[in-house]
Amino acid sequence: MSKEVVITGMGLISSLGLSLEENWENIVAGKSGVKEITHFDAGTLATRVAAEVPPAFDELSRNLIKKRAASQMTRVTRMCITAAKIAVTDAGIDFNLLDRARCGVVMGVVNTGNSSSEKDTTIQNTVFKSMTNSMPAWISLEYQLQGPSFSVNTACASSAYAIAFGYEMIKSGQADVVIVGGADSIINFEEIQGFNALYALSVANDPPEKASKPFSLDRDGFVIGEGAGVLVLEGKEHAIARNTAIYAEIAGCGLTSEGYNIMAPMKDGEGMAKTLELALKNAGIKKDEVGYINAHGTSTELNDRYETMAIRQVFGDGARQIPVSSSKSMLGHTIGAAGAIEAIITALALKNGILPPTINYDHPDPDLDLDYVPNKSRKSDFNVALTNSFGFGGHNATLVLKKYRD
């Protein structure tokens, strides 16, 4: 029997905070987490800014992860496990009371961040730190979960795919609880040099907080961010039986592959539009029900142009009535973590009735004419939201979230 799937716990670590509350407060205030890079000397690179997680994260993770286990994890993996522990605590789950064989983990993992920035790697720990299944494995180990536990890599759409797989596992009756999400950091010399070579990153270094400007005329590429987002998904009846709070419902998803280009999105946003259409169909949602779209909104020339075209294609004349905003204007692009982080922001937007803004929207692009919630958040009581994630290689995901009502 098909089940309704709800979000009962969330953990968010980003450049704007180490808790849900701190992140949400800063997002609603339209703050930027982008600063000069401190992880390494970026002086010789074209891009010298990024959205780094605050140093206080180290103490937080030390309090939540045993030293022995932490020594076998990269900083990115520690971000994931820390966010997972926060999410599970938030959900109020006692796994001793559940059938652990029906509790799973799906994480979006592009890489574990075992780069030159990871200075304390020992020979014995190298393999564990590099294993791309390490994040789901450590979460399953932490709670002795015996349901399916795996990672999925679809580049920048990875953790949106993880949410989609977790959703499907519960909906189809394969699991009662699935911990989903992702973590990422590519703030290291090699990755930034590589993305600079693709002209994908902003080089507007001064001032850093103005570098990420999705949908603006002067956008010049994305800004790398880092962080982790983890959600606890469970069947609605299961959550009600536990008498736990519910943030929002996952109503459906659309997953597609463009089969077009390793980097560029399909012309005119055709692939993106198909993904949006599929998600709406999958969720059984009418177009006029959509009250907000959390855009992929990278601040690159092509993504923002094509995503806008895709929204226009799908919603027609109604497109301009739908608020569309980019969290990446504040948090940078957190790559494998982006889909989960933005799903969390979308869930909070639904629950709190507040649209998060697109900051640095100072010079509108005349070709891009949607309501991008410019610079300031605003109140809006809406029932359905979409969140888009599009990855290099043509991996597209759109998640559909609905306001939960008792």
Interacting residues toward another protein by CB under 8 A = 66-68, 71-72, 122, 124
CA-based diameter of the chain, in Å?
59
* Rounded Cα gap, residues 93 and 216, in angstroms: 43
Cβ contact 301:271 at 8 Å: no
Task: Check if 296 is active-site.
Answer: yes
Residues 6+ away with beta carbon under 8 Å from 74? 112, 113, 114, 118, 129, 134
CB of 63 to another protein, least distance (A): 12
Strand partners, 152: 108
User: Of 70 and 186, which CB lies nearer to another protein in the complex structure?
Assistant: 70
Q: How far is CA 99 from CA 176, 272, 357, in A?
A: 8, 38, 41
User: Catalytic one among 80, 103, 253, 296?
Assistant: 296
Assess contact for 182 and 159: CB atoms under 8 A: yes
Choice between 71 and 130, CB closer to another protein? 71
Nearer to another protein, 1 or 123 (CB): 123
Both tokens of 320, joined, read 């301009």
Structure token digits, residue 400: 């559909």
What's the N-to-C CA distance of the chain in angstroms? 21
Instruction: Kindly state the smallest distance separating residue 137's Cβ from another protein, in Å.
Output: 13
| Interstrand relation of 384-391 and 290-294 (parallel, antiparallel or unpaired) | parallel
Identify whether 333 is a catalytic site residue: yes
Both structure tokens of 130 = 């590099």
Nearest to 300 by CA among 346, 266, 265, 268: 265
* H, E, C per residue of 217-244: CCCCCECEEEEEEEEEEEEHHHHHHHCC
Q: Which CB, 134 or 303, lies closer to another protein? A: 134
Choice between 24 and 138, CB closer to another protein: 138
Backbone φ and ψ for 348, nearest 5 degrees, come out as -70, -35
In whole angstroms, the minimum distance from the beta carbon of 106 to another protein comes to 25
DSSP 145: -
Of 2 and 124, CB closest to another protein: 124
Nearest alpha carbon to residue 13 among 47, 46, 45, 54:
54
Least CB distance to another protein at residue 127 (A): 10
Token pair, residue 339, equals 């889909």
Of the candidates 284, 282, 268, 263, the one whose C-alpha atom is nearest the C-alpha of residue 198 is: 263
39 is known as an active-site residue: no
Q: How far is the CB of 67 from another protein (least distance, A)?
A: 5
Q: Smallest gap, in angstroms, from Cβ of residue 342 to another protein?
A: 36
Question: What is the chain's length?
Answer: 406
Least distance between another protein and beta carbon 179 (Å)? 21
Task: Considering the complex, state which of residue 134 and residue 346 has its C-beta at the smaller distance from another protein.
Answer: 134
Q: 156, 238, 253, 395: which one is catalytic? A: 156
Shortest Cβ 126–another protein spacing (Å): 12
**Per the structure block, which two tokens stand in for 259?**
């089969």
- 133 vs 313 by CB, closer to another protein: 133
Give me the catalytic one of 103, 238, 253, 333.
Answer: 333
Contact 263, 241 (CB under 8 A): no
Q: List the catalytic residues.
A: 156, 296, 333
